[in-house]
Amino acid sequence: MPGRDRMNVTMQDVARHAGVSPQTVSNVVNGRSARVGDETRVRVIESITQLGYRLNQSARSLRRGRTGMVGLAIPTFDSEYYGALAQALNDRFAERGLRLVTENTGGAVRAEVESLASSHLDSYDGFVLALAAGDTPHFDRISIDKPVVLLGERALSSRFDHVLMDNEGGARLATRLLLKTGARAIVALGGVHDDEESMPGLRTRGYAEAHAEIGRDLDPALVLPSTFDAEGGHGSIRALIASGRRFDAVFAVTDGLAVGALRALADAGLRVPEDVQVVGFDNTTASRYTVPRLTTVEPSNEARAETVAELLVSRLQHRDGVLERRVVVHPASVVERESTRRAPSA
């Protein structure tokens, strides 16, 4: 279209150029391309590119009252767990015709609170916040008119739907398995000494509960605070071995820590699981490829992603606020692999 201002190219222009109807072009640009054949879709996209057609997102949003986008704020991009979570949520929202946009809060309270500011939420139809630091007082003061679902370690404000991970129950199951398979000195790698309502605090609590069930005392020296990555796990276990402290099992509060522990044990000539058993938490992809393959806690990540999408879409469909707020906890389970011994038959 020589001489035509590319800013003024219309959907009708694209339709004429591609030899299709304006409705077909609309289907492609609005994410309904499943209704369009492959060859036709490619032709429409080529015409859009050649003509420089741009969808007026602002006008479209005003007409529909929607942006077609959902925001997701996570503490870090540098994490296999959060990467897998973002992918699972992306797939679930895509199935419902929504596009996911991911942001990084850095695990800071200020960034988590700012992500729920009305000026920020104007870009989205709804928002998912994976909490790392914020607490009820931080969010109860915020005025929010968009659907929000929280992902986190503990239930917070009753204002929002909240999908929780069973940190305490998963840790209890993992520690029970180690105790049943003969472990007597279990390290809580990444654990904390304070009974705090955080991921490491809840997982340490589950670890302690499993010991209490059989009347076994905990050795505080075996609760090892750490960063939650492989480097932290490697350094903490290497230092423990060097100290001469005896242990025969490791419950790592993340799979990343467990991977580092496996490397430290191998470096020290200790066999897994013959000398030291190891269990992780999160059932990341990496856990299936360690040597030996890692026993780990599966926190129902796929089910949690499905629940988040269901809750948010339900809110979008019922903007009158008649739906009750929901708190959902999916049960954890243990995936047994090669890094633990078989429990004796009952």
User: What does the pLDDT read at residue 109?
Assistant: 82
Compute CA distances 108 → 74, 104, 132, 185, 235, whole Å.
10, 10, 7, 35, 25
Separation CA 47–CA 301 (nearest Å): 40
Angle CA 305–75–201, to nearest 5: 85
pLDDT per position as a tens digit, 157-210: 567 888 988 999 999 999 999 999 999 999 999 999 987 788 899 999 999 999
> Alpha helix (H) ranges present in 244-283?
255-267
Tell me how crowded residue 48 is: count the other CB atoms within 10 A of its CB.
Answer: 21
pLDDT per position as a tens digit, 63-94: 455 788 999 999 988 888 899 999 999 999 99
298 - beta bridge partners? 333
Which strand (E) or helix (H) includes residue 82? helix 80-95
CB contact at 8 A, 158 and 325: yes
- Average pLDDT of the residues of the chain: 87
CATH of domain 6-55: 1.10.260.40
pLDDT per position as a tens digit, 242-286: 999 999 999 999 999 999 999 999 999 999 999 999 999 999 999
Among 303, 308, 299, which Cα is nearest to 254's? Answer: 299
Q: Is the pLDDT of residue 133 over 90?
A: no
In Å, the largest CA–CA distance within the chain is 84
3-class DSSP string for 115-136: CCCHHHHCCCCEEEEECCCCCH
104 - beta bridge partners? 74
Q: Determine which of 29-33, 114-118, 334-338 has the lowest per-residue pLDDT on average.
A: 29-33
pLDDT band at 62 (very low <50, low <70, confident <90, very high): very low
Answer left, alpha or beta for residue 216, where phi above 0 means left and psi between -120 and 50 means alpha: beta
User: What does the pLDDT read at residue 259?
Assistant: 98
User: What does the pLDDT read at residue 55?
Assistant: 62
Contacts 24+ apart (CB under 8 A), 289-293: 290/258, 290/259, 290/262, 290/339, 291/262, 292/262, 292/337, 292/338, 292/339, 293/337, 293/338, 293/339
Average pLDDT over residues 94-122: 86
Neighbouring residues of 204: CB distance < 8 A, sequence distance ≥ 6 = 171, 188, 191, 192, 195, 223, 253
User: What does the pLDDT read at residue 158?
Assistant: 64
Separation CA 93–CA 345 (nearest Å): 43
Q: 80-95 and 301-317 are packed helices; what angle lies between their axes, rounded to 10 degrees?
A: 40
Average pLDDT over residues 314-322: 76
User: What does the pLDDT read at residue 3?
Assistant: 44
For the chain, the C-alpha Rg in angstroms (whole number) is 25
Domain 167-298 has CATH 3.40.50.2300: yes
Q: Is the pLDDT of residue 136 over 70?
A: no
User: What does the pLDDT read at residue 67?
Assistant: 81
In the chain, what are the domain boundaries? 6-55, 68-166+301-331, 167-298
Neighbouring residues of 133: CB distance < 8 A, sequence distance ≥ 6 = 107, 108, 109, 112
User: What does the pLDDT read at residue 155?
Assistant: 63
Name the CATH topology of 68-166+301-331: Rossmann fold (3.40.50)
Asked, colleague to colleague, whether 6-55 and 68-166+301-331 share their fold, the answer is: no
Backbone angles phi, psi at 15, to 5 degrees: -60, -45
Assigned token pair, 219: 């050795």
Count of alpha carbons within 13 angstroms of residue 217, beta-carbon side: 3
pLDDT per position as a tens digit, 35-61: 678 788 888 888 888 888 876 554 555
Sheet holding 69-74, edge to edge: 99-104, 69-74, 126-130, 148-152, 161-165, 327-330
User: What does the pLDDT read at residue 157?
Assistant: 59
Among 263, 213, 268, which Cα is nearest to 244's? Answer: 268
User: What does the pLDDT read at residue 41?
Assistant: 80
